[in-house]
Amino acid sequence: MTNLKLVDLSKRYGQVEVLKHINLDIRSGEFMVFVGPSGCGKSTLLRCIAGLEEITGGTLEIEGEVVNDRAPSKRGIAMVFQSYALYPHMSVFDNMAYALRIANASKEEIETKVTAAAEQLQLTPYLKRLPGQLSGGQRQRVAIGRAIVRDPKVFLFDEPLSNLDAALRVATRIQIAKLHEDMTKTTMIYVTHDQVEAMTLADRICVLRDGKIEQVGTPLDLYDRPESLFVASFIGSPTMNMIEGSKAEPFKAHTVGVRSEHMIVSADSGTWNGKVIHTEDLGSDSYVYVDMGQEDPIVLRVDGSTKYRSGDTVYFSPMEGRIHRFDGTGKPIT
């Protein structure tokens, strides 16, 4: 069942069109991730869905009803931001209970809902604390808990983990994934610029570029079958290697894209070659940066036990079937 339907949705600020004819169906219970370069309109799109910004063209439907003019509080949507915006003088319990108190919920209902949300987010030991006595990850969980108690149909997240350090990001990401598993009927829309978050959390990823949808698909769809040079370059870390000009000619393409993990590396022969300029040892594997006379170095993933030194010449060839060919306009050649 479709839960959210965006039909030709557009948004302009004065003369500037920030969102351009967005058409997208989001299923009930789906985890949809929006990614795209800074300024492409991700936050604006979330705010239009939440009702915090007026939609200037097209329609937004929730469960079959057009809600363009419906107040944010009447849309069944809760939003979690990058900054937690908790009330500093209120306990964790009171922060989470706030919306319910405003809505005149009974004491019992508040107790039941806050206790359940705290349990779900592993916040039970902290209910009496003030936000200032919590870590960043715990604070973000309180912000999520505050949204959960309202029992929203749709959850919107705008880069919720970007203020957290690496370890907390991982822990909180896993918690959000669990939350999604538990709340099977709750639709989640999540904005991030983090590749790992996008790939691991999403049922589908929507790549936005300059206010338009570039491609929508499952993480593996986008990873394996990018429909443009833009998506190929945007999805995946490290970025897909792009080989151009005369070095791409043997493949009858303007640009040949090959991911780091899809190159066969050799010390003595291969399709292309270059000089090692740097290596990064990650333990399990290493990234070898190679200059082959293009603007950006080629990145090769090799086994961690293989050693290359700066100045070494290495040869590399694409694995069978792992080549992405693009024409001069950035369209894939099939």
Residues that bind ligand ADP (CB under 6 A): 13, 18, 36, 38-44
Smallest distance from ligand ADP to CB 13, Å: 3
The count of chain residues that interact with Mg ion, using the rule CB under 5 A, is 1
Nearer to ligand ADP, 20 or 153 (CB): 20
Look up residue 177 and give its two tokens.
């994934």
> Within 10 A of 313 (CB to CB), how many other CB atoms are there?
12
User: How far is the C-alpha of 183 from the C-alpha of 186, rounded, in Å?
Assistant: 5
Smallest distance from Mg ion to CB 9, Å: 17
Torsions phi, psi of 243, nearest 5?
Answer: -115, 130
Q: Which does 87 bind (CB under 5 to 8 A by kind): ligand ADP, Mg ion, none?
A: none
Q: In the block, which residue shows the tokens 């936005």?
A: 208
Q: Which does 120 bind (CB under 5 to 8 A by kind): Mg ion, ligand ADP, none?
A: none
The CA-atom distances, in angstroms, between 311 and each of 95, 276, 287, 308, 314 are 58, 5, 15, 9, 9
- Partnered with residue 272 across adjacent β-strands are 316
Look up residue 138 and give its two tokens.
């715990």
The CA-atom distances, in angstroms, between 242 and each of 187, 260, 286, 312, 330 are 36, 10, 19, 21, 11
Nearer to ligand ADP, 41 or 236 (CB): 41
Q: Which does 44 bind (CB under 5 to 8 A by kind): ligand ADP, Mg ion, none?
A: ligand ADP
Nearer to ligand ADP, 233 or 294 (CB): 233
Nearer to ligand ADP, 59 or 82 (CB): 82
Smallest distance from ligand ADP to CB 171, Å: 25
Smallest distance from Mg ion to CB 191, Å: 6
Residues between 23 and 62 with contacts to Mg ion, criterion CB under 5 A: 43
Nearest to 61 by CA among 153, 151, 158: 153
The CA-atom distances, in angstroms, between 289 and each of 17, 244, 297 are 40, 17, 6
Nearer to ligand ADP, 12 or 128 (CB): 12
Smallest distance from ligand ADP to CB 105, Å: 33
Nearer to Mg ion, 162 or 228 (CB): 162
Smallest distance from Mg ion to CB 18, Å: 11
Where do contacts with Mg ion occur on this chain (CB under 5 A)?
A: 43
